[in-house]
């Protein structure tokens, strides 16, 4: 790919988070290198998201707006951002959610790093993603190895924990926190396809990471920084509907990319039944076990039903 005169699109997927979107647009609009266009993908917000975008368009005419017409989740929002990038012939897409806070030179640094790679058109890069107020990485980083995809085994929570030998110049290879300051060559998107909208949330970015890692290179640009709230960890910290999507989607990912006896139908059936039995025996965790059992059963049957469990708000 010719790396001069690149057309760059920055996208932000949002739903009902005016304060976060306002800050994200402020930070994007003051980047040291400005993108050719900024796209706000609105997942059918019930709040005054369009009014806020119109206010920003007065200050930054490069901002465009699309409403998905329904809450399509992170997966659907990112899918529409990529469709827009392809249809409008951009060269690079730098994509994020509304709770991402790209630092002043985040875009400039990641593009510069990408340009310096051998065969950059075969690379997807991510910014480093750190907590809003600390040096902890919001999602952690797993230990890289040459062959991808693979499941994570060693996690690091700060850059300082990573052994220096794993760094390759300004890039930590084989890892990226997708959809949180992720730089994608648009021609690569055309080759690997779009995010799986049926995933909705909690795993859509992981599936897309593995899909790309099977055919191309991924890495984190160590000089490009995005701030993001620390990830919720553990089922106990999640509402039941998020537990459902996380369990179902992760099980489907394991079936697709890491087949083993633990992804065979009989094993999954017995695992689902175990959780249903636990739901009857453990009143304190009844809902968690019910949701987990249903999610495993749906993953086993490749059932993607948005209404399979009462979602709440």
pLDDT digit string (tens) for 23-47?
Answer: 999 999 999 999 999 999 999 998 8
Return the higher-pLDDT residue of 22 and 140: 22
pLDDT in tens, 284-307: 788 888 889 999 999 999 988 777
Determine which helix (DSSP H) or strand (DSSP E) holds 218, and give its type and residue range. strand 217-227
What is the rounded distance in angstroms from the CA atom of residue 22 to the CA atom of residue 52? Answer: 7
Given pLDDT bands bounded at 50, 70 and 90, which one contains residue 107? very high
Determine which helix (DSSP H) or strand (DSSP E) holds 294, and give its type and residue range. helix 286-300
**What's the chain's average pLDDT?**
90
**Phi, psi values for residue 292, rounded to 5°:** -65, -45
pLDDT for the residue 151: 67
Calculate the CA 46 to chain-centre distance: 23
Q: What is the set of domains in the chain, with CATH numbers? A: 8-227 (3.90.550.60), 235-300 (no CATH)
pLDDT at 312 exceeding the cut of 80: no
What is the rounded distance in angstroms from the CA atom of residue 226 to the CA atom of residue 120? Answer: 21
pLDDT for the residue 311: 46
The answer to pTM > 0.85 is yes
**Phi, psi values for residue 39, rounded to 5°:** -115, 125
Place of tokens 């999640």: 238
């Amino acid at each position: 790919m010719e790396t001069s005169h690149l057309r760059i699109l920055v996208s932000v997927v949002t739903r009902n988070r005016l304060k976060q979107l306002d800050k994200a647009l402020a930070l994007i609009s003051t980047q040291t290198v400005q993108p050719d266009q900024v796209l706000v993908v609105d997942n059918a917000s019930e709040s005054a998201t369009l009014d806020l975008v119109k206010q920003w368009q007065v200050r930054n005419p490069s901002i465009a707006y699309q409403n998905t017409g329904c809450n399509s989740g992170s997966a659907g929002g990112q899918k529409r951002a990529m469709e827009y990038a392809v249809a409008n012939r951009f060269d690079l897409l730098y994509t994020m959610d509304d709770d991402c806070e790209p630092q002043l030179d985040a875009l400039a640094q990641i593009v510069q790093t990408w340009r310096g790679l051998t065969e950059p058109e075969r690379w997807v890069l991510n910014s480093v993603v750190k907590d809003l107020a600390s040096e902890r990485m919001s999602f952690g980083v797993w230990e890289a190895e040459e062959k991808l995809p693979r499941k994570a085994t060693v996690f690091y929570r700060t850059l300082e924990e990573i052994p220096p030998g794993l760094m390759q110049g300004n890039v930590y290879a084989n890892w990226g926190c997708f959809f949180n300051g992720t730089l994608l060559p648009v021609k690569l998107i055309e080759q690997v396809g779009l995010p799986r909208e049926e995933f909705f949330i909690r795993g859509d970015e992981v599936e897309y990471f593995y899909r790309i890692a099977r055919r191309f290179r991924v890495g984190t640009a160590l000089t490009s920084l995005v701030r993001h709230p620390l990830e919720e960890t553990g089922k106990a910290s999640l509402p039941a509907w998020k537990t459902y999507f996380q369990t179902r989607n992760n099980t489907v990912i394991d079936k697709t990319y890491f087949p083993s006896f633990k992804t065979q139908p009989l094993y999954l059936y017995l695992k689902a039944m175990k959780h249903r039995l636990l739901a009857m025996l453990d009143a304190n965790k009844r809902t968690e076990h019910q949701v987990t059992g249903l999610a495993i059963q749906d993953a086993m049957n490749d059932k993607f039903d948005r209404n399979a469990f009462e979602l709440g708000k």
